Every structure is written in structure tokens, then in C-alpha cells.
Chain A
Amino acid sequence: DAKTTQPPSMDCAEGRAANLPCNHSTISGNEYVYWYRQIHSQGPQYIIHGLKNNETNEMASLIITEDRKSSTLILPHATLRDTAVYYCIVGPSFGNEKLTFGTGTRLTIIP
């Protein structure tokens, strides 16, 4: 699996957009970008994924650069409940064996 690089921690003011970056310069052509988050003492929660195009769902937006070497997860209006560790992962298509989680970005939403 390709590796990812994320900042260890970030702060964001409540109500503002939280933009979490991820570098994945060695991503291969058939690998997706996935984002999960883990609230303290809970299992990780799937947020969003994409291959080439930008994606949006009810939780977040995913912006993938044209060369696919980096991406940004956007939480449009951060709330205190968005405080969590966010994991950016690259790997094969869904269900195809395994994903490897790194240490992620600890996002703290500040009131």
C-alpha cells in the first residue's frame, strides 16, 4: 500500500471550515483515497473516499489534486463533535483485502 503523510495535529474554530491535508505522492493508478475518523475510545468511522474526482457527502468534501499526489478533507462547518483523529489512507478498491492506518491528524475544534 502507498503511504500517506498527515500533520500530527490541527486546531479549528467552531463553525469554520476544517481543511485536513494529506500527501500520498506514491499512490498508484488503481488506489483510492479514504478518510476515516476516530473519536476517543470508539472505533473509526468511515467518512468519504475517492479515486480521481472530488467527492461530497453529508459529512464532508474530498478534494484530490489532478496529479493525485495529495488530497484535502473539508468539514464545512466544524462542530465540537468533530474533534477526533482523522486518518487518510490509500489502498485498493473497496473490499479488496486490507487497509493500513497511520497515526492520522488529531483535529481539535475550539469553541
Chain B
Amino acid sequence: SQTIHQWPATLVQPVGSPLSLECTVEGTSNPNLYWYRQAAGRGLQLLFYSVGIGQISSEVPQNLSASRPQDRQFILSSKKLLLSDSGFYLCAWTWTQMDYGYTFGSGTRLTVV
């Protein structure tokens, strides 16, 4: 069966520090991968998505970047965090060939102080 792992679960980082959040999927190949962010009390905002290794589409210009170094690995990064980067970050995957819908990871709650 397919599983998605996202870590860490919580993170407190100072302003100006770097960020690296990792997401991996097991049990499938060539998934579509997504990073979403949810600010407190708000809906989900799509940040990046990837349909293959090295293929990244950015939805919102901002202080973040994403990379997909391996087929089932998706990384969200920042060189210098801002206070406005605080939020709940969610990784998700889906597969073009199967009727599974999006499967989300358990999320990372990031607080920038």
C-alpha cells in the first residue's frame, strides 16, 4: 500500500533562518507531488506541484522554493524565513493512473519567531 511521510511534525524557527521540509512517498512510482500551506483559520494555498523529477511548478511567488531530487521525494526550502512563512505545511500526492484522489501527509506546523 502507498504511504506518505512528512517531517518534522512541528518546527519553531527564528526569522532569517533556513528551512527544509521533506516529504516522501512509498509504494508507488511517478506520483504527482504537491506542497500546500494553510495559515491559521484559512483555506489551503497551493505552493508548488511536480509531475516528475526536476519538474517544479510554482503557484505563488514567495520566499520559498521546492525541489524533487528523486521520484518519490519532495522538498520545500527557504534560505531566510519570514514571519509570514508561519503556517501548516502539507505535502500531498496523487497518481494519474489511479482513482485515489489526493493523499495528504500529516503536516508540519511551522512557527517563525
> Are the C-beta atoms of A99 and B51 separated by less than 8 Å?
no
> Are the C-beta atoms of A98 and B49 separated by less than 8 Å?
yes
Chain A, residue nearest B90 (CB):
A43
Contacts of A54 in B (CB 8 A): none
Residues B67-113 near A (CB distance < 8 A) = 88, 90, 92, 94-107, 109
Q: How far is the CA of A73 from the CA of B57 in the complex (A)?
A: 31
Please pick, from A43, A46, A49, A96, the residue contacting B96 in the complex, using a CB distance under 8 A.
A96
Query: CB of A44 within 8 A of chain B?
Result: yes
> Are the C-beta atoms of B106 and A42 separated by less than 8 Å?
yes
Q: Distance (Å) between the CB of A71 and the closest chain B CB?
A: 16
Interface residues of B, CB < 8 Å — how many?
A: 29
Interface residues of A, CB < 8 Å — how many?
A: 21
> Are the C-beta atoms of A44 and B90 separated by less than 8 Å?
yes
How many residue pairs at the A-B interface have CB separations less than 8 Å?
61
Please pick, from B44, B90, B100, the residue contacting A46 in the complex, using a CB distance under 8 A.
B100
Query: CB of B13 within 8 A of chain A?
Result: no
Q: How far is the CA of A102 from the CA of B43 in the complex (A)?
A: 6
Query: CB of A41 within 8 A of chain B?
Result: yes
Please pick, from A45, A97, A104, the residue contacting B43 in the complex, using a CB distance under 8 A.
A104
Please pick, from A44, A94, A101, A103, the residue contacting B100 in the complex, using a CB distance under 8 A.
A94
> Are the C-beta atoms of B46 and A43 separated by less than 8 Å?
no
Of the listed residues B44, B46, B106, B107, the one surrounded by the most CB atoms of chain A closer than 10 A to its CB is: B44
Q: Distance (Å) between the CB of B49 and the closest chain A CB?
A: 5
Contacts of B34 in A (CB 8 A): 98
List the 10 closest pairs (A to B, CB-CB), nearest first: A43-B104, A95-B96, A46-B101, A101-B44, A103-B43, A95-B94, A43-B90, A98-B49, A44-B104, A43-B107
Could you list which residues of chain A lie within 8 angstroms of chain B, going by C-beta atoms? 34, 36, 41-46, 49, 87, 94-104
